[in-house]
Structure 1
């Protein structure tokens, strides 16, 4: 391999607390004695070869992960020539890890995920929906799958996530939020989902709902809300992503044809990592703008039919626009849209199109909830 190949630029990503959302895409190069990643925002991450811990993973075992000793930064790439370039750039010091990493993935029995469960998820995603996905796209393929697969994939994804924050299990925190979710849940357009709330101590104004219904709420979101209906608006939007199976669509797209062929020929290599890595890579970027619009409309419908004031969703968006315009880690569904004013206008239009109704205030004591998370 030539010098130019060894020092080419590769497309990959980086995981770090320094990046919004914990991970992002990156351009990867090799500098003097180190692997180097530059994020779209210009942040630079370097791991010296002497400190670099290399692991192989991904659905096909070909994803290369370069981690620093503290586990604070991970640079990853699946480029066809990346492993060879890394070997040459490091003068062979990482060859043992690069050569044995694949075997290590096969033998790693300490993973909390079981190969049987993950194989089932992948087989059903690809064998039942694979043919249709190739012809008609992930949306049609996902519709062919039973909802139980959403639950299984969501459970695998949640167990494999390292949120690096304290999870709050106090009833006085969980129960009021779960009560709001339980009021919205009967209006879900997809039957069979089990919505369960988890609360994480973090200043991020954020929340997300995994396939199957696992909901994670950050305490920063609770602090930012001015009335419980605004919190309900965010929850309704995130629940809508699950009922519309947006996460399943993105995961199916991320698996691709390569994984389908691997399963068809019986190659289970790398499937242990699919709950962690594939789902994470499927969500490196936010949902598409079209999916966010769908979640807006569906979330508003759920609020309306649950008797909760749907105007609170646009209301909370205005709070974010005026009071937290540069908040790190703010809601993904806000940052996806370039125009705040357009988003607010569309939400208000959707609310005005709903049938007239008298909405009852939620019984949730928001001040008490804010006190409980301290």
Structure 2
């Protein structure tokens, strides 16, 4: 009979170098005790409770008739092979390889999930943050140039109302808003109620939103809000966050030119970019300051927001502006609170009123 070697650990914790004999029913463990007397311990294979295979030393566990645990520490590869071959029917050995592989796959799965979590974190948070950091590093000249390219790439899909475009640019010039950029306004024909600012100074106003306005102060508020997005570089920062994942790939293989190409190729996304609550509040507050500085009645901002909030119940088309410029009660409340802190202003520029009314002639 073939014999094997292992270290036997009895229930009391003593251990002995042992010779092992294997059959399908029993495992005989022969060793010399402290008195140099030969001892045989017989394990019934049905009472084996577990087997842990490791790269250096494996372990076989057994529960004796007193409910105590005995163990064999095994380094003999031939013994391991014999156990797996002879006791392949046993629950502890029948799928040892499967359990080992299962353990490996479990560890690999955990590692894969960790890596996936890291990549997801990079994709959702770090890369957008990186995109905004890139935007902050852009010079004003680069931003204006990129904005012009975006405008040219996008405007061809619209029908421009040349007459109202000229009137709104005259209206804006009369407002004398100074946001640090050369602002140019374009009016396009559309059933959607929308307006959006582009990096560098272009503002696109949809005809439907003009049709809903009743006073020049509302238009002054709209242009103050949108030009604030331009002056505070919200448009640039927002589109860089939104397109940062594509730009990240461009950054890996190129430079500012590659990034600009990605932005220009996605110029149409500007009309549906959503601003964060903090950016909208910042644009509202700055718009009020522009109005106050140029003697425009600040209630125009409140009227604008109330008009847009009312229009939000008019279906998908009229709600377009609301989807990208969310109006909430606390936002209107903030505007009213800011107005209370500022001196009352009455619009005294009759020319603004004349220009405004010419829009509808």
TM range (shorter): 0.5 to 0.7
Deviation at 1:134, TM superposition (A): 7.3
Task: Give the structure 2 partner of residue 217 of structure 1.
Answer: 205
Alignment partner of 1:181 out of 165, 172, 188: 172
Taking the aligned partners of 1:296 and 1:367, their CA distance within structure 2 comes to 25
The normalised TM-score by structure 1 is: 0.54
Cα gap change, 1:175 to 1:164, in 2 (>3 Å)? closer
How many aligned residue pairs are there? 231
Give the one of 301, 317, 320 matched to 2:305: 317
Structure 1 pair 180–351 and aligned structure 2 pair: CA distance change class (3 A): farther
Q: Pick from 345, 352, 363: which aligns with 2:353?
A: 363
Give 1:113's aligned residue: none
Q: How many Å separate the matches in 1 of 2:184 and 2:165?
A: 10
The 8 Å contact of residues 156 and 276 in structure 1, kept in 2 or not, is answered as no
Partner SS, residue 329 of structure 2 = helix
In structure 2, which of residues 138, 152, 170 is the aligned counterpart of residue 159 of structure 1? 152
5 Å matches for 1:100-139? Answer: 137-139=130-132
| 1:133-190: CA deviation from partner (whole Å, max 9, x where unpaired) | 97975555433322111211111111111564321112xx2333112322445432xx
CA contact (8 A) 2:221 2:301 kept: yes
**Preserved contact between residue 197 and residue 204 of structure 2 (Cα < 8 Å):** yes
Larger radius of gyration: 2
RMSD over aligned Cα atoms: 3.1
Deviation, structure 1 residue 309: 1.3
Q: Are the equivalent residues in 2 in contact too, given 1:209–1:239 (CA < 8 A)?
A: yes
Q: Is the contact between residue 207 and residue 235 of structure 1 (CA under 8 Å) also seen in structure 2? A: no
Contact 1:250/1:283 (<8 A) preserved: no
Higher relative contact order (CA 8 A, sep 6+): 1
Q: Name the CA distance, whole Å, in 2 between partners of 1:141 and 1:158.
A: 21
The aligned counterpart of 1:9 is: none
Change (3 A) 1:318 1:150: same
Could you say if the C-alpha distance between residues 139 and 310 of structure 1 is closer, same or farther in structure 2, counting changes exceeding 3 Å? Answer: farther
Q: Which runs of 5+ in 1 are unaligned?
A: 1-132
CA–CA separation in structure 2 for the residues paired with 1:267 and 1:346? 40
Supply the distance in 1 between the matched residues of 2:343 and 2:150 (Cα, whole angstroms).
38
The aligned residue for residue 117 of structure 1 is none
Query: Partners of 1:178 and 1:287 in 2: how far apart?
Result: 25
Give the TM-score taking structure 2 as reference length: 0.56
Unaligned runs of 5+ in 2: 1-125
Distance 1:368 1:281, change over 3 A: closer
Q: Which residue of 1 aligns with 2:264?
A: 275
Cα distance in 1 between the residues matched to 2:182 and 2:213: 25
Q: How far is the alpha carbon of 1:295 from its aligned partner? A: 0.9
Aligned equivalents of 1:355 and 1:327: distance in 2?
Answer: 37
Give me the whole-angstrom Cα distance separating, in 1, the residues matched to 2:132 and 2:289.
Answer: 21
Distance 1:163 1:323, change over 3 A: same
- How far 1:227 sits from its partner (Å)? 0.6
Contact 1:286 1:333 (8 Å CA) reproduced: no
SS of the aligned residue for 1:370 comes to coil
Runs of 4+ in 1 over 6 A off after TM superposition: 133-136
* Kept after mapping to 2: 8 A contact 1:194/1:213: yes
